[in-house]
Amino acid sequence: MNKNKHIAVLLGGWNSENEVSRTSGTAVLKALEELGYKKVTRVEYDRNVAQTLQKLKPDVVFNALHGKFGEDGKIQGLLDILNIPYTHSGVLQSSICMNKFVFRKICKAYDVLVPEFAILKKGEDKNNEKIIKKIKKPFVIKPIDEGSSVGVEVILKDMEFDITQYEWKYGDEIMIEKYIKGKELQVAVIDQKAVGSVEVRPKFNLFYDYASKYTPGMTDYIIPPEIPAKKNKELLALGLKCHQMVGCQDISRVDFLLNEVDDRIYLLEINTHPGFTPLSLVPKIAKKAGISFNEIVEYLINNAACNK
């Protein structure tokens, strides 16, 4: 373990998750200091990041970014061009997992259960209304390529939803999916192993939304989930399968729903850049499995690479 490596921690940015990224990045900076790395640089992600990194010449970039431009393949491609090793997954895996529609298509090809879904397009109100009528309430509206549940809306049977009044804040396409009531379950995968799982129970909101994720006291975390041992074993195996089917590397969090009606597990998404905030799930799961936060950070540094 070469503590003389120059580590650049990339954080922040200009998307809807920049503050979450800064919180994750700050925690990583603290861990690197505790681990004894002698040269660590905090790099705020902006449009001049290529020039900044070329001047710094770091040995490794720790990618603590979340959301657009950070975990969708764009910064990964730039780092490949600059030939700077970086943490987490590469271009292809990142872009696939960030695009919910593309990812769902791949899931279906691998016979992984996902909620019924479709795409709604701005300006195509008549077709959109047909799709909504087909999916039927209750349903969920999601931006295609945002994280941290930004822009997610659950529309229950007794709620009004008029697509002609939708504000389209997150692009010209959104995803609609059938709402499934059940347990929200997540699996942490580290070093090609499903190290554990968690059940999240929001105390005040209908689902594990942005506020529930990042506001202390709003969610209960049950590790392991209160489900039969056989079902949890199935969950862990499915989490690893999903991580591997798109070629994710080093670390991921795989999100599922356990349908309370048919008792089947439905995949929602894979997060290739799971959060490192005080409330983030992967560090909680890892800690229960005997893996410290600092050990995760060191593992990611040691496995950083280009052209993944």
Q: Which of 179, 255, 266, 280 is catalytic?
A: 255
Alpha-carbon separation of residue 200 from 151, 158, 209, 252, 293 (angstroms): 19, 25, 11, 17, 20
Q: What tokens appear for 131 in the block?
A: 């799709």
Residue 44 located in a structural domain: yes
Could you tell me if 153 and 57 lie in one domain?
no
Residue 107 shares a structural domain with residue 256: yes
Confidence of residue 26 (pLDDT cuts 50, 70, 90): very high
Q: Which residues contact 80 (CB under 8 A, 6 or more apart)?
A: 90, 91, 306, 307
User: Distance between CA 235 and CA 113 in Å, rounded?
Assistant: 12
Query: How much of the chain, in percent, has pLDDT values that exceed 90?
Result: 75
Q: Show the domain range for 235.
A: 97-112+181-296
Rounded distance between C-alpha atoms, residue 295 and residue 287, angstroms = 10
Spatial separation of the C-alpha atoms in residues 155 and 273, rounded to whole Å: 28
Q: What is the pLDDT of residue 148?
A: 59
238-275, pLDDT tens digit by residue? 999 999 999 999 999 999 999 999 999 999 999 999 99
Residue 16 has what pLDDT? 82
Task: Specify the pLDDT at position 203.
Answer: 81
CATH number, domain at 60? Answer: 3.40.50.20
Taking phi over 0 as left and psi of -120 to 50 as alpha, with beta for the rest, 209 belongs to: beta
71-75, 103-107, 237-241: which range is least confident on average? 103-107
Confidence of residue 209 (pLDDT cuts 50, 70, 90): low
Q: Is 201 a catalytic residue?
A: no
Annotation marks residue 275 as catalytic: yes
Inside any domain, residue 67 = yes
Confidence of residue 80 (pLDDT cuts 50, 70, 90): very high
Considering the domain boundaries, does residue 306 fall inside one?
no
Contact 50, 78 (CB under 8 A): yes
Work out the mean pLDDT of the chain and round it to a whole number.
92
pTM assigned to the model: 0.92
Q: Is 37 a catalytic residue?
A: no
Which pLDDT tens digit goes with each residue over 227-248?
999 999 999 999 999 999 999 9
The CATH number of whichever domain residue 166 belongs to comes to 3.30.1490.20
> Distance (Å, rounded) from C-alpha 300 to C-alpha 308?
14
Are residues 102 and 46 both part of a single domain?
A: no
Residues 76, 54 share a domain: yes
- Backbone φ and ψ for 3, nearest 5 degrees, come out as -80, -5
Q: Annotated catalytic, 151? A: no
pLDDT tens per residue across span 159-202: 888 898 888 888 899 999 999 999 999 999 999 999 999 999 88
Q: What radius of gyration do the chain's Cα atoms show?
A: 19
- Are 67 and 148 contained in the same domain? no
Q: What angle do CA 278, 214, 21 make, to 5 degrees?
A: 70
Instruction: Answer yes or no: do 101 and 230 share one domain.
Output: yes
Which range has the worst mean pLDDT, 139-143, 148-152, 278-282? 148-152
Contact predicate 65/278, CB 8 Å:
no
For the chain, report the end-to-end CA distance as a whole number of angstroms. Answer: 21
Q: What are phi and psi of 187, to 5 degrees?
A: -115, 135
**Catalytic, out of 148, 197, 212, 232:** 148
The answer to whether 17 is a known catalytic residue is yes
Same domain, 148 and 195: no
Arithmetic mean of pLDDT, 83-90? 97
Same structural domain, 271 and 163: no
Instruction: Respond yes or no: is residue 33 known to be catalytic.
Output: no
Q: How far apart are CA 206 and CA 203, in angstroms?
A: 8
Query: How many domains does the structure of the chain reveal?
Result: 3
Same domain, 205 and 140: no
Interacting residues of 158 by C-beta distance below 8 A, sequence separation 6+: none
Q: Which of 72, 197, 269, 280 is catalytic?
A: 269
Backbone angles phi, psi at 201, to 5 degrees: -125, 95
Res 89: pLDDT: 96
- Of the candidates 14, 3, 25, 20, the residue with the CA atom closest to the CA atom of residue 49: 14
Query: In this predicted structure, what is the pLDDT of residue 121?
Result: 95
Question: Which of 12, 67, 147, 275 is an active site residue?
Answer: 275
**Is the domain of 32 the same as that of 58?**
yes
Q: Is residue 54 part of a domain?
A: yes
136 shares its domain with 278: no
Is residue 148 flagged as an active site residue?
Answer: yes
Q: What is the CATH number of the domain that holds 270?
A: 3.30.470.20
Can 303 be counted among the known catalytic residues?
Answer: no
